[in-house]
């Protein structure tokens, strides 16, 4: 089994990620996050918000609606420019992204004749309200960014930030991708974490470089191995219609180096376009220089689903322990879905079970904690290793007398005997190290 198959299988087996609508045969390339998946995803979002909003004084958070005025997409250029070329096979009717065909004129599946590349807009279109006519067309946003641009004046008027400053937002985006695939890597519904950082135009190049470093280091600090991460500047021909420069942070996925996040210099394109189309002046007044200016925008834009996948791939490890293979997810402590698992050594001794359950309830007040007594201890450890649980606490016969428990560390498998009254402090110290 290759690594990608192992990850997909682990995700299903342990409740990280399931195929959407599986009981109906599944909706292709659409995925649901299960109990551990949602925790991992939330932990990634929390870590991103902490590093980009709470720990900085120049960024404010936002949460704009998914549905926006259709003029937004006209101004942003998405109605006119946000398309891929598609080619259809005249025989088997399969559809391809023209650029993936690399000049081939015959269908790679059946050898049939292919149509010329035809533009296909990637925005999902629907109707607002009960009448399905062209006057009511509305789009599902293909990026969260525009929600921040159109609120530029609201932010200036309500919070009075000084340049340089940024807005940060996490939310769903939708693209009618022609060729989704590679598990959660390219899907039609996905989540983005985006920052729009407003700067004086002359500072844009310097700020772009700073953001590339800052964002690159964020992945490293959360445990991604250095050799699995790289920066790739875009060539002129691959820049989006709004960008003057862009560098991708790429991860070495099992299917090859692929984009995790793009950091772009969007210039003043968006603010000028929205000023033009809305008739509102989206400018900043520099009180010191007594100058009105349209800031440039540096945009670090990452995908949460891709981050989840990269963190899973990177953490996946198989170790030989006494002739057995131990599968363990070595997720960073801030990302691990479960911090503590409480496991009674004998589930048929009621006092042990009661003690373990009471301990679980108490630990839950401080850490994400689970209780499991549905198998023998070896199997219970294996389950917890596979979801990356940091500490396994076993309650045994001796615990009834000495009020101590055994704590096993996920990575070292070292065991410590700890007094129950000191357990929270012990775990806290480890988590905050």
Whole-angstrom Cα distance, residue 269 to residue 294?
9
Instruction: Decide if 19 contacts 26 (C-beta within 8 A).
Output: yes
* Shortest Å distance, C-beta 315 to ligand GAP: 18
Which CB atom, from 39 or from 194, has the smaller least distance to ligand GAP? 194
Q: Which is nearer to ligand GAP, 39 or 189 (CB)?
A: 189
Least distance (Å) between residue 275 CB and ligand GAP: 19
Nearer to ligand GAP, 80 or 419 (CB): 80
Beta-carbon neighbour count of residue 35 at 10 Å?
13
Cα distance between residue 258 and residue 186, in whole Å: 11
* CB 250, min distance to ligand GAP, A: 9
Comparison of 170 and 356: residue with beta carbon closer to ligand GAP: 170
* Shortest CB 144 distance to ligand GAP, Å: 7
The minimum distance between CB 269 and ligand GAP, in angstroms, equals 12
Q: Is 67 or 92 the residue whose CB approaches ligand GAP more closely?
A: 67
Neighbours of 293 (CB within 10 A): 15
Report yes or no: 167 and 59 within 8 Å, Cβ to Cβ. yes
Residue of 385, 251, 389, 382 lying closest to 313 (CA atoms): 251
The 8-class DSSP code of residue 178 comes to S
The binding site for ligand GAP (CB under 6 A) comprises 143, 145, 175, 177, 186-187, 190, 192, 194, 259-262, 299, 301-303, 305-306
The residue number whose beta carbon is nearest to ligand GAP equals 303
Q: In whole angstroms, what is the distance from residue 192 CA to residue 174 CA?
A: 10
Min dist CB 265 to ligand GAP, Å, is 12
Give the nearer residue to ligand GAP in terms of CB position, either 194 or 268.
194
Q: Is 177 helix (H, G, I), strand (E, B) or coil?
A: coil
Least Cβ distance, residue 146 to ligand GAP (angstroms)? 8
Tell me the CA distances in angstroms from 224 to 73, 178, 241, 263, 430, one per residue in order: 36, 30, 31, 18, 20
152 touches 163 (CB < 8 A): no
Exposure of 179 by Cβ count < 10 A (0-12 exposed, 13-18 middle, 19+ buried)?
middle
Cα distance between the two ends of the chain = 37
As given in the structure block, the two tokens for residue 56 are: 């900085």
Judged by CB, which is closer to ligand GAP: 4, or 377? 4
Please, which residue, 75 or 260, has the CB nearer to ligand GAP? 260
Q: Please report how close the Cβ of residue 406 comes to ligand GAP at its closest, in angstroms.
A: 41
Phi, psi (rounded to 5 degrees) for 309: -65, -45
């Amino acid at each position: 089994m290759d690594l990608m198959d192992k990850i997909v299988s682990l995700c299903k087996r342990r409740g990280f990620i399931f195929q959407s609508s599986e009981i109906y045969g599944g909706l292709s390339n659409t995925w649901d996050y299960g109990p551990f998946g949602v925790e991992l995803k939330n932990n990634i979002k929390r870590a991103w918000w902490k590093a980009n909003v709470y720990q900085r004084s120049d960024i404010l958070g936002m949460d704009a609606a998914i549905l926006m005025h259709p003029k937004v997409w006209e101004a942003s250029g998405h109605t006119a420019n946000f398309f891929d070329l598609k080619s259809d096979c005249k025989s088997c009717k399969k559809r391809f992204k023209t650029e993936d065909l690399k000049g081939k004129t015959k269908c790679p599946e059946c050898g049939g004749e292919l149509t010329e590349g035809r533009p296909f807009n990637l925005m999902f279109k629907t109707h607002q309200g009960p009448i399905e006519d062209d006057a009511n067309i509305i789009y599902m946003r293909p990026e969260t960014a525009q929600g921040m641009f159109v609120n530029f004046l609201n932010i200036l008027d309500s919070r009075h930030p000084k340049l340089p400053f940024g807005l940060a937002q996490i939310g769903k985006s939708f693209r009618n991708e022609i060729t989704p695939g590679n598990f959660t890597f390219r899907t039609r519904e996905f989540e983005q974490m985006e920052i729009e950082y407003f700067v004086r135009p002359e500072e844009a190049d310097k700020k772009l470089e700073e953001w590339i470093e800052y964002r690159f280091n964020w992945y490293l600090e959360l445990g991604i191995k250095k050799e699995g991460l790289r920066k790739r500047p875009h060539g002129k021909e691959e820049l989006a219609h709004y960008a003057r420069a862009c560098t991708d942070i790429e991860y070495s996925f099992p299917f090859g180096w692929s984009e995790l996040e793009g950091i772009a210099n969007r210039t003043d394109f968006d603010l000028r376009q929205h000023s033009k189309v809305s008739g509102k002046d989206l400018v900043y007044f520099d009180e010191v220089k007594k100058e009105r200016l349209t800031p440039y925008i540096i945009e670090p834009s990452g995908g949460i689903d891709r981050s989840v996948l990269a963190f899973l791939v990177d953490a996946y490890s198989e170790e030989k322990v006494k002739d057995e293979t131990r599968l363990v997810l070595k997720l960073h402590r801030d990302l691990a879905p479960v911090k503590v698992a409480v496991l009674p050594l004998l589930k048929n001794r009621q006092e042990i079970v009661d003690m373990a359950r009471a301990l679980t309830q108490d630990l839950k007040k401080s850490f994400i904690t689970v209780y499991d007594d549905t198998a023998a201890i070896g199997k219970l450890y294996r389950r917890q290793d596979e979801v990356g649980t940091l500490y396994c606490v076993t309650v045994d016969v001796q615990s009834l007398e000495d009020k101590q428990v055994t704590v096993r560390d996920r990575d070292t498998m070292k065991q410590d005997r700890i007094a129950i009254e000191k357990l929270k402090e012990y775990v806290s110290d480890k988590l905050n190290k």
